[in-house]
Amino acid sequence: MPKLVASDIATALKKRISSGEWIENGRIPPERDLASEFGVARNTMRRAVSFLEDDGTVVRHVGRGTFLTATNPASMAAVVGRMEGTSPADMMEIRQLLEPAAASFAATNASAMELNAVREAHRIASESQDMPTFEHWDAEFHHRIFACSRNEFLKEIHNLMRILRNQAPWFEMKKRSFSEERRSIYCSEHQAVLDALLRRDPESASQAMLAHLKTVQRNLLGR
Amino acid sequence: MPKLVASDIATALKKRISSGEWIENGRIPPERDLASEFGVARNTMRRAVSFLEDDGTVVRHVGRGTFLTATNPASMAAVVGRMEGTSPADMMEIRQLLEPAAASFAATNASAMELNAVREAHRIASESQDMPTFEHWDAEFHHRIFACSRNEFLKEIHNLMRILRNQAPWFEMKKRSFSEERRSIYCSEHQAVLDALLRRDPESASQAMLAHLKTVQRNLLGR
DNA sequence: TTTATCTGATCCAATATTGAGCCATTAGTA
DNA sequence: TACTAATGGCTCAATATTGGATCAGATAAA
């Protein structure tokens, strides 16, 4: 059994906060109390609370206590929280807006080294033997295309989507929809995208990506 | 029974990871624990985990533990943190991808009541006397269009952009670029978008929105 | 046999937790 | 005002946890 460490405690605290605990006066219990409640040294609890402080969930005042912040970081976290609840259908719709554009940007902006990284991800995915490995390098292929889009904001949106796709409702869906035949279709579609990137052809990169995403959408959600 | 070798264990681990195990705080158990759980020597488990590390599925830190890369709690916060640092230019580029689509969706999906809300925001913005009031209802106009796009994920991305636009670099920029003449241009462009929405014309709603965003981009960032 | 792998064990280096104590600031009270 | 209790900020030494690395022997497959 792994030991309960500060980061674990931090996520436990976040869970309790987002479940509405302590919201009444916005104040969370003293470190000493929390420490004894969790059966952990005060120093460890301090580190845990520091995580919350770092991401803006909480502010601390000497002599007064530790308080939930009602401002920006919280609303940001709320957005992310609601995103976790959005449907795969909605996200696939947005992917079809963003990823073709990313591919188009990549075709014009990518360095040779970055394109090599894309090609490498494609190669490993093609040669992978089991589904989890394929999944991983499939995701990596898409990620690396965003990475050479030269738009930081776009990259971060994709990071968000990637994290969300690694959670609850997607798991089942991906597992259900996977098959050897579909894998090989995905590979050849990836190849088409890669070819367009290597030809530095933004328009066909975009089209190839869109075609691929439509296939994925069909497989994941039916038509 | 065939002997459990490192690569078998690696795929078993991957399966457990992709089934959602350990995603909660992104930490997987210590090698020693996993080894005893799988009934295997620690060296073997180390080799197994090394496969995951090569994959990029996981990163290891001496003294801390082994962590999932794709989905750990910190990575979500990190994404949001990095977004705060992205440039207005990058974000404007993405707005031009998303908002025309949102307008298009709105034209086909909005209810009459929702369109009234959009019109109302436009009216108050047009009649506003001072810049902060105009800013507020301008933002509200865009927000309400997203609100009737019927895509929850898209709405949340816009919420994110809205929060970011209320922070540091944007404030100065908006103040600098504001003028009475530009305000009236924005208003007539909004009017064009609104008209297209009321005509239930997705194509021209999209085009009108794109035209508007290009104006905003030019005013904010120069050409 | 040869080769590769697993086992069991030991030590090392990096990091975390513990438990204790003291300080500075704040709030409440006599 | 002055005192007290509560609270977060901080340090320190001792201990524990964890991944990194190596080695000799056992086992199994080519």
Q: Give CA–CA dist A88/A67, Å, rounded.
A: 35
Tokens of A66: 């530790």
Which residues touch A131 (CB under 8 Å, ≥6 apart)?
A175, A178, B18
- At residue A5 the predicted structure's pLDDT band, cuts being 50, 70 and 90, is confident
Q: What is the CATH number of domain A84-221?
A: 1.20.120.530
Residue that wins the pLDDT comparison between B192 and A136? B192
The tally of CA atoms less than 13 A away on the side-chain side of residue A122 is 22
pLDDT at A126 over 50: yes
Q: Inter-chain contact A55–B77, Cβ cutoff 8 Å?
A: yes
Q: B87: which chain A residues are within 8 Å (Cβ-Cβ)?
A: 152-153
What are the tens digits of pLDDT across the range A143-152? Answer: 999 999 999 9
What pLDDT score was predicted for residue A15?
79
Tokens of residue B148, six digits: 């009737």
pLDDT at A112 over 80: yes
Q: Which CATH class is domain A6-77?
A: mainly alpha
Greater pLDDT, B220 or A142: A142
Which residues from B are below 8 Å from A154, CB to CB? 90, 93-94
Region A22-47 average pLDDT: 89
Q: Tell me which of A121 and B3 has the higher pLDDT.
A: A121
The domains of chain B are located at: 6-75, 84-221
Q: Which CATH class is domain B6-75?
A: mainly alpha
What residues in chain B have per-residue pLDDT under 70? 1-4, 71-74, 167-168, 223
Say how many CA atoms lie within 13 Å of A46 toward its Cβ.
5
A27 touches strand D (CB under 7 A): no
Strand D lies under 7 A from the Cβ of residue B138: no
Q: Return the residue of A nearest to B159 by Cα.
A: A79
Contacts of B44 (CB under 8 A, 6+ apart): B5, B6, B9, B35
C-alpha atoms less than 13 angstroms from C-alpha of A134 in its C-beta half-sphere: 18
Q: What is the mean pLDDT of chain A?
A: 88
For residue A188, what are the CA distances in angstroms to A15, A119, A146, A215, B62? 43, 13, 19, 12, 40
- Residue-level pLDDT at A1: 43
Which pLDDT tens digit goes with each residue over A153-189?
999 999 989 888 877 677 778 778 888 899 999 999 9
Q: Do B154 and A94 touch (CB under 8 A)?
A: yes
pLDDT band at A73 (very low <50, low <70, confident <90, very high): low
Residue A103: is its pLDDT beyond 50?
yes
Helix, strand and coil percent figures for chain A, each rounded to 5: 75, 5, 20
- The tokens for B117 are 């809300």
From CA B217, how far away is CA B96, in angstroms rounded?
9
- Structure confidence at residue B173 (pLDDT): 79
The pair of structure tokens assigned to B191 is: 């009017």
Q: Does the pLDDT at position A72 exceed 70?
A: no
Task: Please give the torsion angle defined by the CA atoms of residues A144, A146, A150 and A154, in that order, rounded to the nearest 10 degrees.
Answer: -150
Residue linked to tokens 């994290």? A163
| Res A74: pLDDT | 57
| CA of residue B20 to C1' of nucleotide C12, angstroms | 34
Q: Which residue of B has its CA nearest to A162?
A: B70
Rounded Cα distance, A138 and A114, in Å: 16
Q: Is the CB of B62 under 7 A from strand C?
A: yes
